[in-house]
Structure 1
Amino acid sequence: MPKLKTQLTNLPHQPGCYLYYNSAGKLLYIGKAKDIKKRVASYFTKNIHDPKTEKLISEIAKVDYIVTDNELEAYLLENKLIKKRQPVYNIMLKDDKTYAYIEITKEKFPRLVTTRTKSPDKKLFGPYPSGYSRQHVLRLANSLFKLRVCKKLPKRPCLLYHINQCSAPCINNISEGEYVRNVTLAEMLLKGDIKPLTKKLEFEMDKFSKRQEYEIAKLKRDQMRALQSLATQQRVDLKKRYDQNVINYVATAKQTIFGVFRINKGVITGKQEFVFKKELALLEDFITRYYETHDIPEEIIIPERFENQKLVAAYLTKAKGKKVSFTVPQRGDKVKLLDLVKTNILTKEKEEESALFELRQKLKLENVPRTIECFDISNLGETNKVGSMVYFKDGKPDKSNYRRFKIRTVEGQSDYDSMREVVLRRYLRLVKENKTLPDLVIVDGGKPQMSAALSAFREIGIQLPLIGLAKKHEEVYTTYTQYPFRFSRRTDALKLLQHIRDEAHRFAITYHRVLRSKGMR
């Protein structure tokens, strides 16, 4: 292998992609450049780099390249290569399949359902990173327009019809045409087209009122008021008739957090945050990766210009099939939006930090619980027993460290023995492999589950901070108090504990269903 210096000398003055490898042949980073030689040379000739770039440079042992005809082709090639080969120093966003969408089904009487599977033949809205916001929109759309929720049309009307929450197409209480018109209204809501939807409802209210059909007119009025209330909560002061995204970030020595607000015709329809702890988190790289899996708007509002801004705009325009532009505002409403995104990022950071510090104080822990592991047992029938463990780092789920367990040694439905087995297997392995133990262990349940975990700890010969969280009254059991205690319902610490416990339960149930479908093979 030629020496690195010789490789740098032989690089071409042409557009294309460059690839960095370490001494073991592992791909570290892929970049694109108008002039490959100049771009690569800048890594080794500049005296000042950020710490992450310095670390990358220290690992480079080999440089390879691919020449293209022009800069745009280099950009397209870079994206394909990164997606396919996933270098360790390039930003890789989580696939959108981890987020849920709202789908309008293609049935005769369509439903609104939640799905995590993207497909070109589906009518999807989202994604919704927050389960709460998704359920809120679903409930609002279903109640406003009285859409059915049953998977199959029943022969008799259900309770929802009797409490005026469903139009009951199952008994021909509504014509197919009228039902489809309601679905169209629901679609307008999901798109964020609240203003024209409100006008449409106002027109219908007047129409039915003039016909003296006052019950229907009252229904339209109530729908209109609910939508006006929603618009008031979400509206920002932008009089645009197209989609916009607002992207901002907060960078610290430990991490970079990007925030995205999605805006449709002046209404904030969603927000997301992405945290990068190890990667080179550059604005340009984030934008490129983000729009590989998200809808591209016509305008993207950003806090500053970046090196290849025109090139990225051309790339996104080509992908969308419509002009896409970047805006770097200096004053006015768009600057306020950028500030709002940053405020949301900082607020989220503070909430997570405050929750962790509050846990340390309330649970009398020696250290802030940066790493937390939580166990849950799913026990439906004597032969169908599984366990799950979820892993949270700095208050956030780290799904790469989730673990699931088939219960091997327990007969019957003993939660105690099942919990003991799972905890024993987990930490026996960590100790044998000399891996780091968590700052806090949580078990879903009360004293019996805690006793099971403590028994496993004693057998292994370890001591770890341990609590049990019982669902019924959200009571917290500890090893140093005789009786459980409760956090205030409003505390960030309790919200974090509930989130972790519920995630462990969800993960266990999901695994349980998979095994049941396979006949517990």
Structure 2
Amino acid sequence: MNKPKKIPHKPGVYIFKDRHQKPLYIGKAGNLKNRLAFYFSQTIKIPKIAKLLEEAKKIQILETASEIEALIKEAELIKKYLPKYNVLMRDDKGYFYIGFTKEIFPKILITHQPDTRPKYQNPNPKSQTKHKIQKLKHEISYIGPFTDGNALKITLRLLRRIFPYCTCKETHKRPCLNAEIGRCPGYCCFDNNSKFKILNPKFETNSKSKILNSKQRLEYQSNIKNIMAVLRGKKKQLIHELKNKMSTMSKNQEFEKAAVLRDQLFGLKNIFEHRQTLEVRPLARGQTSAELENRLKILLHTAKNISRIEGYDISNISGTEATSSMVVFSKQANSYAPDKNQYRKFKIKTVHQISDVDMMREVITRRFNHPEWIYPDLIVMDGGKPQLNAATAALKSQIPKHKPQINSKFKIPIITALAKQNEELYIERWRFPIKLKKQPQEILHLFQRIRDESHRFAKKYHHKLREKKFKNG
């Protein structure tokens, strides 16, 4: 068997086939070229591999977008073809399976040997009287086999950030730590007599049935269903389904529910976009900014190019010597970089009280009174919803002055505000903010750099004005 001429340095699945095109062995790799180089090494002395190479006549390569997809595809193909040289298939202890318990709030577990036998329990083990042994309600369904236990754990960890589920072994009276950090819904593992649950509307119970309300059960079970869909290789169908649901909820003005689905879609795209998902890394040195721009487009739901980003901040002490900055980040070969020749500073003129919101409104109005400056594709300001609303109103007031027949170069930018405390990004016309800490690091770092640079530049000008006032008495 000859070595394939073109093997990509990318994740994927490889299949050794015999002369009848029947799969002999199926494996996965984070880097196909490096992995297959092992099989063609002259120093190889493993009898089973030598026998495989002797019998194999062809290698088929299936490239995937990420290591997670390679992991899932490998499991799917092994189960389908039962290859001769995947000898571990004859000893189930060598493979990993994901189990899903069949109960109101299903648990997820990883095991070597799936146990499909019926399970039974005594309904009252403490009682001295005899009881009929009843069939346990939560039997377990399995997905597998998977070959890489470590990769499987990382995959579940990533999926849990998008679709939270419970891992608590016992019920408790207060929210668990995982609920506090968004990895568990929280209501699934509460003691029914918990005072916290009774007093907190988030954990409302149904007084008639003494169980959690059906909406919470359906929400939790939907998360489990979505995880199962991903692990079965039905990612595309799941994304299509989530998009349809989000569209329907938006039309019905159920914006909070639509925002949850939006975040789930972003999470799935982020997982499957990265070439190296099971070992998360930043953009490689020397890589072009095209990938970063594409991630920005996905984040902001826009098809427009993002070449120029402007950042704004206000600096003042009790309203005195108030200033504002306009910093510019332009798309360069490798990233978005500060373009200091395009920086502008403003001394606040019309606002004399302590009001960052009114000051931001003034600055945005004045900025768009300068058609000779290149227009931005994206605006990032320091602040929250009030600053965002003020800037949006200011921009809308300027639009009549920039009609196409007056200014053909004018374009309406995307306006955002970055709240520092929780790194939440507010976007015009979006009801709920995006949590940037859940986004890829390069996205979070870009917004932080813009925010910090605009703060530095505004503060520098503010100090300059204060020193000038002090010297002049």
Q: TM-score range by the shorter chain?
A: 0.3 to 0.5
If you compute each CA radius of gyration, which structure gives the higher value, 1 or 2? Answer: 2
TM-score, normalising length from structure 2? Answer: 0.35
